Amino acid sequence: MDIDALRAGQPRAVARAISGVERGGASARAIIAAIFRFTGRAHLIGITGAPGTGKSTLVNEIAKQYRRRGKRVGIVAVDPTSPFSGGAILGDRLRMQDLSGDPGVFIRSMATRGNLGGLASTTADAVKILDAAGFEIVLIETVGAGQNEVDIAKNAHTTIVVQAPGLGDDIQAIKAGILEIADLLIVNKADHDEVSATVAALEMNLNLKPMQENDWRPPVLKTIALKGEGVADAVDWIGKHRAYLEDNHLLAQRERARVRAELEMVVQRELVTRLLGGVNGSKVEMLVEKIAARELDVYTAAERLVQEKL
Amino acid sequence: MTDRPIRVLIAKPGLDGHDRGAKVVARALRDAGMEVIYTGIRQTPEMIAEAALQEDVDVVGLSILSGAHMDLFPRIVAQLKQKNVDDVLLVCGGIIPEDDLPTLKQMGFAGVFGPGTSTQDLAQFIRDQIGARAGA
């Protein structure tokens, strides 16, 4: 890998490096080992929300705003892999065509490749590459997320949860999960009906949370991403959130939390790979048969496999 | 053997808006286990080459029904070359007269798939070609 070309942001080098980390294994580890010293400079911004709320269109507009403000922007957009075929349709780029031809923007589509939680298991590594390549802003768009895909909060400094009008009432708004991870709440498609009801439900939920003096209260913002309306204000708010994190020494704290989560994940992945790597396929099949025939319960079967490997 | 799903860019260059065929192909390749970056209609040669570059795809598939392929395709090939994307498999489909086939092959298109192509045949063609390259 050509580190100098990568650090200079040359698209071919960046693209190849991302493919490298997606492949995993020893070469992926070598790439990360070579670049990690050059990471930690970008502001990582997560964008999540239900399918069809306008995440990709919003990412397009946010990127345009940052370009006007002189920042180079890297984008990682994740879409789901089919659980049946292993294939995927990666369609986020389609909404970001305004950005094409701009050498200050790099867009990469990723498939989840079986990972749950809203991101691919290698998304954090792809983000590191964009960071090392000098993109000051990295926008990470999750798969269309429902209630529980909250991994983005561990991977970003600022998390934006995008909602659209008419998708749920005030009970949905007080449920645990995705709304809790928001640093900014954006109600997109604000030219549709029921906007004020959606905003009111989100505000009410925020009002129910006891606040300490220095707590960040997520703003509830309205945008019409297709027309670019409200996006400049949203980008100002991202800046305010960044300043809040810095002023309260939370950036370092978040960074440590992020690194800890990543370390645990990598250890888990490695352990699972090494443990399962040598498991006898026919043994697994035999156990599956026994469990399906109700001769053995799943915990006992799992215990046998683990014992055998340890 | 490739150690990742085959990545395919499906794009429609030029001004024709008939994207049913491109969507059918995208969906079929998805079901064949490939990762399909779908950029849709009205793509300029520059946009297509840029997407192929950033997405580091193995295959670029172009769908065109407007008759402008002999004008647009050379520009796409030139743009890809200019960006050093010199190792992708090029395929195309749509309404393409037989007379143009030799020129397209010369230009670097490994496969030209007209109406009536079986999507399984297309997926198999891509797998074979990519497999042969990886083995080479």
Instruction: Tell which wins on pLDDT, A278 or B48.
Output: B48
B30 interface with A at CB cutoff 8 Å: yes
- Going A306 to A151 to A48 to B43, the CA torsion angle's sign is negative
pLDDT digits (tens, 9 = 90+) for B90-125: 999 999 999 999 999 999 999 999 999 999 999 999
Q: Does B52 touch chain A (CB under 8 A)?
A: no
Domains of chain A: 40-250 (3.40.50.300), 278-309 (no CATH)
Confidence of residue B136 (pLDDT cuts 50, 70, 90): low
Over residues A231-282, the pLDDT tens digits come to 999 999 999 999 999 999 998 888 888 888 889 988 988 888 777 776 777 8
Number of H helices, E strands in chain A: 12, 8
Mutate to test the interface with A, among B3, B4, B37, B53 (most CBs of A within 10 A): B37
Q: At the top level of CATH, which class does the domain B7-131 belong to?
A: alpha beta
Which residue in chain B is spatially nearest to A9 when comparing CA positions?
A: B54
Contact B36 A88 (CB under 8 A): yes
* Cβ neighbours around A81 below 10 Å, total: 24
Query: Which positions ≥6 away from A295 have C-beta within 8 Å?
Result: none
Contacts of A89 in chain B (CB under 8 A): 26-27, 30, 36, 38
Q: Is the dihedral of CA B52, B55, B60, B63 positive or negative?
A: negative
Residue B1's pLDDT band (boundaries 50, 70, 90)? very low
Both tokens assigned to A201: 């439900």
Structure tokens at B43: 């793509």
Query: Which is more confidently placed, A258 or B127?
Result: B127
Q: Give the gap in angstroms from C-alpha A285 to the nearest C-alpha of chain B.
A: 24
Q: Which two tokens stand for residue A236?
A: 């100002």
Show the low-confidence residues of chain A (pLDDT under 70): 278
Give residue-wise pLDDT tens across range A88-100.
Answer: 999 999 999 999 9
Q: Flag whether the ipTM exceeds 0.85.
A: yes
